[in-house]
Amino acid sequence: MSLTEAIKHEARAVGFDAVGICRVDVASSRFEGHGPGTGTSDIEHHPSLPDSLYTRLLEWLERGYHATMSWMARSPAKRADPSQVLPGCRSIISVGLNYYTGHRADERLGNGRIARYAWGTDYHRVLEDRLAQLEGRIARLAPGAVTRSYVDTGPLMEKAWAQQAGIGWIGKHTNLVSPEYGSWLLLGEILTTLDLDPDEPGTDLCGSCTLCIKACPTGALGEPYVLDARRCISYLTIEFRGSASEIDPEIAARMGNHIFGCDDCLDVCPFNLRAAATEEPAFQPKPLSLSPGLDRIAAMTESEFVTTFAGSAVRRAKRSGLQRNVAIARRHPVH
């Protein structure tokens, strides 16, 4: 068994459902160090990521589609070149964990809707633990190798690298789509100095389908493969820190009962409709996740919020953000 095969075997052994590997273009490493020709402008012309993906990132940022997420505009070249994140990086091991449980949300009048990935335990905890296990096994397989892992917390375009690693492709809704698991994969990656055998990049199988674009309630998918976060329910209910009055009334009226995230564009994807349910206990939904009563959440104190959503990704929105979302949902009930 080759080192690459052994690492993939260990990835599955620690519980990952999908694993793929891509190579990092070492040509960019000549811009490291000091002296003439090492400025940011030089590096930005030599990202490891394919030019088309890097160009799309720059265009997306220039259009202001990242909204108030200012961290996404910092050092775009770094996001495209992992060797600036881990010096000497030669390969990226992308992994995925299926979080689809097969349950259905209770959307009767008076209930909100929480995105599926936040129904159980915070996925960061689950993936970070398994990535740490995998790094330990890589260290035993290849002593001296340097690794660094991330779960959507580092300056990496994780979906783009997952596509390069063959796990799937970036669909028209801008989420990764796997032929086996649809978009129900939570992603993580390990950067390493090891030279590993790459997989073939994922092939786009969206074809002429536009179901996800038509399903978006707020028109955040104005064109295929481009998401305007300023109109995206996931962004507005999680990352946006402003008040309800700062959300465009026309958009707020279309947010419906979504109080944390949104699965609308995923629910209609044909590849998601045939996905198998996960066996991961951590992702099994808690009762409040399936039927979050708007009145109950609106009345929560800070301590009740912290206790109720302990260990949940919902904590990301903070109590103020979640109750703002609840107030919007109560003004625009779904019948």
The C-alpha atoms of residue 275 and residue 262 are separated, in whole angstroms, by 18
The C-alpha atoms of residue 23 and residue 3 are separated, in whole angstroms, by 14
Backbone angles phi, psi at 199, to 5 degrees: -90, 165
The C-alpha atoms of residue 290 and residue 94 are separated, in whole angstroms, by 30
Burial of 308 (0-12, 13-18, 19+ CB in 10 A): middle
Burial of 187 (0-12, 13-18, 19+ CB in 10 A): buried
Cα 44 off chain centre by? 24
Write the DSSP symbol of residue 238.
I
Known catalytic residues are 152
The answer to whether 105 touches 286, Cβ cutoff 8 Å, is no
- Burial track 54-80 (b if 16+ CB lie within 10 A, e otherwise): bebbeebeeeebbbeeeebeebbbbbb
Distance set, CA 250 to CA 113, 124, 329 (Å): 20, 33, 13
